[in-house]
Amino acid sequence: MRPRGVHVAAAVVLCALSGPVLAACGSAGTGGLESAGPTRPAVGPVRLWPDLPPATNPPIDYGESDIQRVPGIRVTGDDVRSADAVEVVRAEVRARPDARTGPDGLYEETARAVAACASEPASCPVMRPYYRDLTGDGREELIVGIRMPEQQVAVRVYRAERGGLTRIMSTVDQVISVELAGRDLIMRVGSAGIPGYEYRTAWSWDERQGSMLPTRDEIVPAPAGRPSGLGPSGTTGSSGAGPSPVPPPLPPPPPEEAP
């Protein structure tokens, strides 16, 4: 003969596991089950214009140009902390001193300031480096920011491999903030032509591409009290006379990630 307490315990467990579906479980002392109401039918995706012909050109290999071996930089034990961030950027400038656009592009005055970092460290535009495992291989990557005129900031990420450094991300924008969330690098930049809004882009490692790609791109409201201050070109709309303001430095890393 089964003890009566077993039935009571089973009913209690059933109610606990059922959640809101069995909302009235045990109500009014009846112990009966009550319906939570009809469930809305699932609506699947509907394909628009199904007769469109397939694309004849292959998709753009987004991020291919971001992958670049840094010339002349050796990394001890594939540890990015053994590489000096300023020397890494200087090596890239020496290799492509006239690059003004693309992943290597820097303003002319920025390139000159980078080249003079050793003799004029106070004017060096290379900001404090950060370190984080962004690829999931158990080793840290090197994250570098470079200040430029018109509030532009170049953000670059480097991966240590085969005794050297490979650049796996390079982008330039009017950066408002940069954050690390897990293995994502999240950038907030000013929105051109949409007052009161910002762009928020999450860059994530793509194993097949071998680089960081913008996997999520959103337009989000700017925090209350933060003026956008951007002209249609993404600049501050100033006349260009005198030095342009620069964004605030990145926040300090957690203690365990301090350089």
pLDDT for 67 equals 85
pLDDT for 41 equals 83
Nearest to 226 by CA among 242, 203, 247: 247
pLDDT confidence band for 61 (50 / 70 / 90): low
Burial class (CB in 10 A: 0-12, 13-18, 19+), 152: buried
Mean per-residue pLDDT for 9-17? 47
| Residue 77 pLDDT > 50 | yes
pLDDT confidence band for 29 (50 / 70 / 90): low
Burial class (CB in 10 A: 0-12, 13-18, 19+), 249: exposed
Measured at the CA of 203, the angle between CA 186 and CA 198, to 5 degrees, comes to 45
pLDDT for 14 equals 45
Nearest to 190 by CA among 230, 156, 161: 230
Edge-to-edge strand list for the sheet holding 164-173: 68-69, 164-173, 153-161, 141-147, 130-132
| Residue 245 pLDDT > 50 | no
- Name the phi and psi angles at 87, rounded to 5: -65, -30
Neighbours of 118 (CB within 10 A): 10
Please tell me the distance from the alpha carbon of residue 115 to that of residue 90, in angstroms, as a whole number: 6
Please tell me the distance from the alpha carbon of residue 15 to that of residue 8, in angstroms, as a whole number: 11
pLDDT for 59 equals 63
Residues shown for the chain: 259
Q: Is the pTM of this model over 0.85?
A: no
Token pair, residue 42, equals 């699932």
| Residue 76 pLDDT > 70 | yes
pLDDT for 30 equals 60
Residues 6+ apart with CB under 8 A from 155: 143, 144, 145, 146, 169, 170, 171, 172, 173, 175, 178, 185, 187
Dihedral of alpha carbons 101, 105, 110, 111, sign: negative
3-state SS, residue 112: helix
Q: What is the DSSP letter of 50?
A: T
Q: How many CA atoms lie within 13 A of 171 on its CB side?
A: 20
Please tell me the distance from the alpha carbon of residue 225 to that of residue 20, in angstroms, as a whole number: 41
